[in-house]
Amino acid sequence: MKKNSEIQQKTMRNEGIKVTSPLLPDLNEFTELLKDIWNRKWITNNGQYHQQLEQALAEYLKVPFVSLFTNGTLPLLTALQALNITGEIITTPYSFVATTHSIWWNGCQPVFVDVEEETCGIDPDKIEAAITPRTTAIMPVHCYGHPVKMNRIQEIADRHGLKVIYDAAHAFGVEIDGESVLNAGNMSTLSFHATKVYNTLEGGALIVHDAETKRQIDYLKNFGFAGETEVVAPGINSKVDEVRAAYGLLNLKQVNTAIARRKKVAERYREALREVPGIRFFDDMPNVRHNYSYFPIFVDAKKYGMTRDQLYFRMQESGIYGRRYFYPLISTFSPYRNLKSANPQNLQVATRLADEVICLPMHHELSDSDVLKVIEVISEM
């Protein structure tokens, strides 16, 4: 216990090789935009930079409409409200808790189904068996930015009259055959948290397909106001201020360079770790433009010679701070563990993956020596 405590204290001091590092705009450029915001004295409420960022993101992401939010959880909450979702929502236990929390906050019940080993995304073969008369929607996650089987999911949804809301927090810029994965389903959500490939410090977005839905979403994120004296829905306040919008505009100019650097890191990891017994990782999917948001490895203790946790803490002893992401499963947390669908026997793949995963350091600032040190520590067995 003492050793783990010492490791955690070192982590708090930001020593060593971190699992992520935020993409930051040029400070001088940002300062100039801040001066402009100060001069305009328009800080929030659909200002100039807010409007510019929504348009710029729609063009970059190849989607019809983007509605900005103050974080990545509020778009999930708002999507469910906008689509009037009730009852049961089929989702994955292998995700960040915000996915399931958004279901709970809307008074709905999450129904967990297992995931596929090849993507860590929801298994379409398990969805249909989980549908009941109370099921109204499916909420898949593009885990680590790897697209789930969207065509299969949509076929099931259409056959049963279900809505599909994608938690695409990891899928910024991800495309299949040149088409954005964000165009799938009824809506998709993004997170622009500081740990993501693209960030606005804190932030998020909701991707919608038509102007009328965009208008409805914009009402909902501004207390439901449709004008100075008219409230059309019980909305919330999740508007983005001009400071973060300006920050986001500058980051958008450099995100492609950051993704290219991440790709090189991923290629080095793959080349060096491919022959290490007991270490598995994802290769690029055919015809997919990846964003390299994460580099998870999965540790087979019998073949590797130590457990995931043993490797995880050995990495920390060497100053390498990975992340057991996603561990534990959402279905094991106290608000959800008593659900019938949370039974580990029904979630065997997800349970195993959660016990095997470590996300290695992955960001645009990793040096060659950083990457080499990570590789050496993992390859020492």
Cα 333 to Cα 102: distance, rounded to the nearest angstrom: 15
DSSP, collapsed to helix, strand or coil, labels residue 272 as helix
Chain centroid to Cα 154, Å, comes to: 21
What domains can you pick out in the chain, each with its CATH number? 2-21+256-379 (3.90.1150.10), 27-252 (3.40.640.10)
Does the reported pTM lie above 0.85?
Answer: yes
| Cβ contacts of 292 within 8 Å, gap of 6 or more | 145, 197, 259, 262, 263, 265, 266, 362
Q: What is the DSSP code string of 185-240?
A: SSEEEEE--TTSSS--SS-EEEEESSHHHHHHHHHHTBTTBSSSS-B-S---B-PP
pLDDT for the residue numbered 15:
76
For helices 368-379 and 308-317, angle between their N-to-C axes, nearest 10 degrees: 140
| Cβ contacts of 59 within 8 Å, gap of 6 or more | none
Phi, psi of 312 (to 5 degrees): -55, -50
pLDDT for the residue numbered 70:
98
* Residue closest to 366 by CA, chosen among 262, 278, 291: 262
Give, in order, the Cα–Cα distances in Å from 338 to each of 10, 15, 101, 115, 330.
36, 39, 15, 20, 12
Cα 211 to Cα 218: distance, rounded to the nearest angstrom: 10
Cα 155 to Cα 150: distance, rounded to the nearest angstrom: 9
Burial 122-150 (b: 16+ CB within 10 A, else e): bbbebbeebbeeebbbbbbbbbbbbbbbb
Task: Report the half-sphere exposure of 342 (CA within 13 A, side-chain side).
Answer: 15
Question: What burial class does residue 21 get, using C-beta atoms within 10 Å of its C-beta: 0-12 exposed, 13-18 middle, 19+ buried?
Answer: middle
Taking the CA atoms of the chain, what radius of gyration do you get in angstroms? 21
| Apex 302 CA angle, 298 and 305, nearest 5 | 85
pLDDT for the residue numbered 131:
98
Cα 290 to Cα 14: distance, rounded to the nearest angstrom: 28
Which residue bears the tokens 């050793």?
A: 3
DSSP, collapsed to helix, strand or coil, labels residue 275 as coil
Q: Which two tokens stand for residue 155?
A: 């076929």
Q: What is the pLDDT along the chain (381 residues), one digit of tens a residue?
A: 444 554 444 444 457 999 999 999 999 999 999 999 999 999 999 999 999 999 999 999 999 999 999 999 999 999 999 999 999 999 999 999 999 999 999 999 999 999 999 999 999 999 999 999 999 999 999 999 999 999 999 999 999 999 999 999 999 999 999 999 999 999 999 999 999 999 999 999 999 999 999 999 999 999 999 999 999 999 999 999 999 999 999 999 999 999 999 999 999 999 999 999 999 999 999 999 999 999 999 999 999 999 999 999 999 999 999 999 999 999 999 999 999 999 999 999 999 999 999 999 999 999 999 999 999 999 986
